[in-house]
Amino acid sequence: MHWHNEMEFLLVLEGSVSIRVGEEVYYLKENDIILVNSDELHSTRKTKDENVLLAVQINSNFYSSLFPDFNKIRFNCKSFEYEEEEQEVFDTIRHYIAKIVWELNKKDLGYQLKVGSYLYLLGEHLLNNCEYDSIEKEDTELRDTDLARLQRIMDYVNQNSHKKITLKEIAKREHLNYYYLSHFIKGKIGMSFQEYLNTVRLDKAVKMLITTDMSIIDISNTSGFPNVNSFNNLFKETYNSTPSEFRKNWNYPIKGETKKSKTYLDVDRDAALEKLFTYLDTETLEVDETVVKRDIETIYIDSKKEGKYFKNHWQNLTTFGRAHEGLRANWQKQFIEMQSEIGFNYIRFHGIFNDDMMIYNISPEGNVEYNWTYVDELLDFFMKIGIKPFIELSFMPEELKRTNETIFWWKGNISPPKDVKLWTDLVEAFIKHCINRYGMEEVKSWYFEVWNEPEYEYVFWAGTKEEYFEFYKETALAIKSIS
């Protein structure tokens, strides 16, 4: 068992392999692919089949400069959990991996740029096509603490597996309760302490079987097994063969020679590349003949006939940035000039509830107080020049935010509210204030939008899709409740 900071794709190019991730064990066959997230405990084990397994590790920090929350995401990406007709998402992943290896193999001038572009395309594809969960900062800190403890335990076991070691001994070293430590290990690596110890001993025994000519009894003793019978039984249970049969099939070296141990990264390079590059053929280019060979149509216009006014559809709506920008004198001056020449019907903007509008306040007594001064100034301006507002209800006020995720340099908070009731109270108060100031008939002609592009999770919305649906429902009901 091990873990690392990189996310890792494991793609079976030939044969089969057993992979443990946390508590789960998966059996992968040819063409299967799995994504092991950063800091996820995992291990690989040979099956009875010969195999070629490609491992591609990507530092998740690579994506962080453009997508800061990428490190907080845990993907569920396992092709073998889907039917053959559902493999399109994973075919694209295989294709990008093949492209990356292809460029690394060719090393043409500027190949690093191509590799980088395919890595970004791969990251975008994962975000938009694979299931994932997000972890909070507190969970990350707890995970790091647990991994540090687990690393100490595993290091100790690896260094002393040839000796008689017990869980009580390790519990004493870690200053932990014996039963707590037992559950801790089981919960983190998916096996008991004794099972893990046996796995370490067995891995060392396998290495000696294929790299030395030591006797089976000596290997058993050196690996730390209490006796050769327990070694033989565990070996047969794991590899479906005796140690002697395993060594014979592996063609161990003659006396005095050593043989390098294979890992899942040691593969026949040519065979691996040949198989991998079959995934390069997933892209096809189809030309629509109806577009290329279209007929030419001639249209005749009688300029003497009377025409009719053509109203441009784009005149119905214009947009600007956040609400607070509309309070600036130079902005208003430029907009008045544009409106007088074009005459838009609506103007869309976001950030009406952003903190720079100073709406949501808490009194010293702890009561909520609304300040509509800037709202009135902005909406009065729109009424004066004859344009109706298209109001996006965002962003989350500081006093209502659940988390600290923001967007843009002016820090618009994109988190769901800590209490949706406080949010709907704000929305209702805002709508009622507008009705009191401008009249029901006027406000009924306006448009209201719930948030900005929530489908871009962790860009404009830091909650889940389900949370947005609930957020939308409560907001819409709050508006419609006012009559």
pLDDT-derived band of residue 262, with 50, 70 and 90 as boundaries?
Answer: very low
Higher pLDDT, 350 or 185: 350
| pLDDT of 337 | 94
Using CA atoms, how far apart are residues 46 and 17, in angstroms rounded to an integer?
5
Say if 301 falls within a structural domain.
Answer: no
DSSP 268-307: -HHHHHHHHGGGGGG------HHHHTPPP------TTS--
Q: Which residues fall within 8 angstroms of residue 197, CB to CB, at 6 or more apart?
A: 157, 161, 165, 224
Q: Domain span at residue 400?
A: 316-480
Instruction: Pull the structure tokens for residue 445.
Output: 């002609």
Tell me which of 101, 135, 169 is where a domain ends: 135
Q: For the domain that residue 30 is a member of, what is the CATH number?
A: 2.60.120
The pLDDT tens digits for 38-82 are 878 787 876 767 778 888 999 878 898 889 888 888 899 999 999
Q: Is it the case that residue 319 has pLDDT exceeding 90?
A: yes
Q: Is it the case that residue 118 has pLDDT exceeding 80?
A: yes
Torsion of CA 181, 187, 188, 193, to 10 degrees: 50
* E strand segments, 280-425: 317-322, 346-350, 360-362, 368-370, 388-393, 406-407, 412-413
The pLDDT tens digits for 328-358 are 999 999 999 999 999 999 999 999 999 999 9
Tell me which of 135, 165, 185 is where a domain ends: 135
User: To the nearest whole number, what is the mean pLDDT of the chain?
Assistant: 84
Say if 367 falls within a structural domain.
Answer: yes
CB 188 within 8 A of CB 41: yes
* Averaged pLDDT, 386-396: 94
Instruction: Pull the structure tokens for residue 458.
Output: 């962790």
CB 450 within 8 A of CB 458: no
Using CA atoms, how far apart are residues 326 and 10, in angstroms rounded to an integer?
52
Say if 202 falls within a structural domain.
Answer: no
Say if 305 falls within a structural domain.
Answer: no
Q: Is it the case that residue 226 has pLDDT exceeding 70?
A: yes
| pLDDT of 478 | 94
Using CA atoms, how far apart are residues 389 and 344, in angstroms rounded to an integer?
11
Say if 26 falls within a structural domain.
Answer: yes
Instruction: Pull the structure tokens for residue 37.
Output: 């997230």
| Total count of domains within the chain | 2
| pLDDT of 240 | 80
The pLDDT tens digits for 274-289 are 677 778 764 433 434 4
Say if 402 falls within a structural domain.
Answer: yes
One-letter identity of residue 224:
G
pLDDT-derived band of residue 474, with 50, 70 and 90 as boundaries?
Answer: very high
The closest alpha carbon to 315, from 354, 353, 344, 272, belongs to 344
Say if 273 falls within a structural domain.
Answer: no
Q: For the domain that residue 444 is a member of, what is the CATH number?
A: 3.20.20.80
* Averaged pLDDT, 431-437: 95
| pLDDT of 259 | 45
pLDDT-derived band of residue 263, with 50, 70 and 90 as boundaries?
Answer: very low
Tell me which of 111, 135, 159 is where a domain ends: 135
| pLDDT of 270 | 55
Say if 377 falls within a structural domain.
Answer: yes
